[in-house]
Structure 1
Amino acid sequence: MALQGTGMLIVGTDIPAAWEEEFNRWYDREHIAERVGIPGFLSARRYIAVSASPKYISFYETEDFAVLSSPAYKQMLANQTDWSKKVMANFQNVKRQVARTTAGLGAGLGGAAAVIRLRPADNDAATAREALKAVLADLVTKDGTLAAHIMESDPELSKPLAEHKDTPKDAPEAKDWIVLVDTTSAEVAAAAAKAVSSASLPGLTAIDSGTYTLMWILGKAEL
């Protein structure tokens, strides 16, 4: 499915087994709807790992990047519910990106996805972006590969939240780019992750990649 906005909040996390049932109940019964209800947020998708770390990852699409530093979003962050505080205190291996969606190729929302983390050099983002787009343009012609999106993180806004107690404030992944590839199966997603990670991309270094299956998606119109 073509993304409708140009902002994206991406949150990946692990959770201790003893908290996993409540974590999923909280995500599904409170957190996703709460976030999508913020003005400017458009949709949220949840994924669970097939072969990836962290085990869970969510993508929150916004109308534009400015929404992710808006007063409404900041107010929500400053006034977390008691349930949110309780659950989020148990997050582990948190990866949080506040990003601009800078490219989208193909069409469709797949039941599986590849997620690739790339670390940019400190120069010539435009050249790196064009090289990556060329790789993705070829990738979306492959059977079972539907769409691919580039999300470029803002290093300042991608800092961990106060609730993410085990995540360093100066984590290097704050500047990473995320590639999301929608596919029809986990096998195709694995091939897509390998193709992007192994590609020669000037100015970009592959940090890690993984495959996920879609748990569910919520759009603003459904609230």
Structure 2
Amino acid sequence: MHTTPQGMLFVATDVGAADEVDFNAWYDHEHVEERARIEGFISAARYESVRGGRRYLGLYRTDSLGAFTSSAYKAAFGQQTAWSVTNLGRMVKPMRRVCAVTAVAGQGSGSFLSVLSLQAGAEADALGPQLAALPGFVQSYLLLPDAALSTPLPQESSEGRQLLPLLVVETSSSDANDAALAQAQTVLGTAAHDAACYALKWKLFSAELAR
């Protein structure tokens, strides 16, 4: 049991068709492992949209929000490779949030994931136990963005930028994800909007890396 919330770096982005091959190669062969090696990081995972939202999503779980203020994390930004600089500049309409992971229900990683952007004040804390009763449910959690840590990416527009809570639901199948999403929207009513559904591409745990 965690006495302090774990952290999550949430990065969603589109990318131009001409850059997609190199963008994916960079993520798969450099960026994911690079981030997973940072002290305090637990895992790094990539997702691709199957409906709504930006095309690609990266989720990086940490042992706490303190991982994002550490010297190791700051050093990673001071040692960007030319490949990283190029592909960070290729991001289209990126969305970067550094969040506390709260209201966790279930355990494990699902092959499908939904993200619901919630209005501030939405009552979502008790939703997890209800979703847990559904077939194919794996895990759900509420991401609460930290305003000081959620600095925008270079290509991210600051106009109208809102740091809204994000409900994430992970399931073992596409049908289960649709059912969980429908249940969440029923319970939350008009508080849920802009739902995006993703399929897991791959996930790397820091504990798997040779040091």
TM-score normalised over the length of structure 1: 0.85
Q: In structure 2, what is the Cα distance between the partners aligned to 1:85 and 1:180?
A: 29
What amino acid maps onto 1:69 in structure 2? T
User: Match for residue 210 of structure 1?
Assistant: 196
User: Match for residue 79 of structure 2?
Assistant: 79
1:53-202 aligned within 5 A: 53-121=53-121, 128=122, 131-162=123-154, 165=155, 167-169=156-158, 171-173=160-162, 175-200=163-188
Q: 35-44 or 152-161, which moves further after superposition?
A: 152-161
User: Match for residue 124 of structure 1?
Assistant: none
SS in 2 for 1:132: coil
Following TM superposition, where does structure 1 have runs of at least 4 consecutive aligned residues deviating by more than 6 angstroms? none
Structure 2 residues not aligned, in runs of 5+: none
Does the 8 Å CA contact 2:9/2:97 hold for their aligned counterparts?
Answer: yes
SS in 1 for 2:90: coil
Aligned length: 207
Does the 8 Å CA contact 1:111/1:185 hold for their aligned counterparts?
Answer: yes
Q: Compute the displacement of 1:46 (Å).
A: 0.8
Q: In structure 2, what is the Cα distance between the partners aligned to 1:22 and 1:190?
A: 32
Does the 8 Å CA contact 1:5/1:61 hold for their aligned counterparts?
Answer: no
SS in 2 for 1:18: helix
Q: CA 1:212 to 1:136, structure 2 compared with 1: closer, same or farther past 3 Å?
A: same
Identity of aligned residues (%): 33
TM-score normalised over the length of structure 2: 0.90
Does the 8 Å CA contact 1:182/1:189 hold for their aligned counterparts?
Answer: yes
Q: 181-190 or 31-40, which moves further after superposition?
A: 181-190
What amino acid maps onto 2:97 in structure 1? Q
Q: Compute the displacement of 1:171 (Å).
A: 4.4
The alignment's C-alpha RMSD in Å is 2.1
Q: Compute the displacement of 1:147 (Å).
A: 1.2
Does the 8 Å CA contact 1:186/1:212 hold for their aligned counterparts?
Answer: no
SS in 2 for 1:159: coil
